[in-house]
């Protein structure tokens, strides 16, 4: 089931990209590897499912990775652009997919930046994805509160670093700069309410 086409994509890549959950399930049951990487853009089926906002396919892939004990970094792997599945979900405005990935413990996309130093907030703000910006800021606040109120492994300062609201890309732009440049006033207002300067 891991045979590739001329683009280096497997049937699982194709099914995940299109959100065909039944096919994803059949392919995984037949032994397809959920962590297989296509060679050109270094994307796994999970990247493609996240980019398309196919939450059921994402869930099936994450479940399969748990069952076959795929490496812990499976869901956090970055592609040739430096994007983790979380980046693709945020940039695409796929709220349910973003929530699922965060709830399932995806970590790399929270703090790892792509080659341009775009954080998750940069991705969501530049695309005008207000709901995704809200989720990321809410998750940041929850982590901050958790760090203050419990003996959690995530301290309040760690939580702020996970989603720093004024993080700069390689050109010195913050998520607020990108929201303003893109003509996304509601996203800009949301960032300002959360301390962007």
Superfamily of chain region 113-197: Ankyrin repeat-containing domain (1.25.40.20)
| Structure-token pair, residue 68 | 């076959």
Where do the structural domains in the chain lie, given as residue ranges? 1-92, 113-197
Residue 4 pairs with which residues in a beta bridge? Answer: 10
C-alpha to C-alpha distances, 15 to 19, 22, 50, 84, nearest whole angstrom: 6, 9, 12, 19
For the cut 90, the answer to whether the pLDDT of residue 120 exceeds it is: no
- pLDDT tens digits for 73-112? 778 888 888 888 999 999 999 999 999 998 888 875 455 5
Q: How far apart are CA 166 and CA 173, in angstroms?
A: 9
Superfamily of chain region 1-92: Ankyrin repeat-containing domain (1.25.40.20)
Q: How far apart are CA 84 and CA 75, in angstroms?
A: 8
In this chain, the answer to whether the domains covering 1-92 and 113-197 adopt an identical fold is yes
- pLDDT tens digits for 136-194? 988 865 554 444 444 444 443 444 445 678 888 888 999 999 999 999 999 999 999 99
pLDDT of residue 119: 83
pTM of the model: 0.81
SS (H, E, C) 107-153: CHHHHCCCCCCCCHHHHHHHCCCHHHHHHHHHHHHHHHHHHHHCCCC
- pLDDT tens digits for 7-38? 899 999 999 999 999 999 999 999 999 999 99
């Amino acid at each position: 089931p891991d045979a590739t086409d001329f683009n280096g994509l497997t049937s699982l890549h194709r099914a995940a990209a299109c959100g065909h959950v039944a096919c994803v399930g059949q392919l995984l049951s037949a032994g397809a590897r959920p962590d297989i990487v296509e060679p050109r853009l270094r994307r796994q089926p999970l990247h493609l499912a996240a980019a398309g906002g196919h939450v059921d396919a994402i869930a099936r892939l994450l479940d399969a990775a748990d069952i076959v004990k795929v490496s812990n970094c499976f869901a956090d792997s970055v592609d040739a652009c430096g994007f983790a599945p979380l980046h693709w979900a945020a940039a695409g405005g796929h709220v349910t997919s973003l929530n699922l990935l965060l709830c399932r413990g995806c970590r790399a996309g929270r703090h790892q930046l792509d080659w341009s130093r775009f954080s998750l907030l940069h991705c969501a703000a530049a695309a005008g994805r207000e709901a995704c910006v809200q989720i990321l800021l809410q998750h940041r606040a929850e982590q901050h509160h958790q760090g203050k109120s419990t003996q959690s492994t995530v301290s309040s300062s760690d939580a702020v670093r996970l989603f720093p609201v004024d993080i700069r890309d390689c050109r010195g732009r913050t998520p607020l700069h990108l929201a303003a440049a893109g003509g996304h006033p509601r996203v800009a207002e949301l960032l300002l309410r959360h301390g962007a300067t």
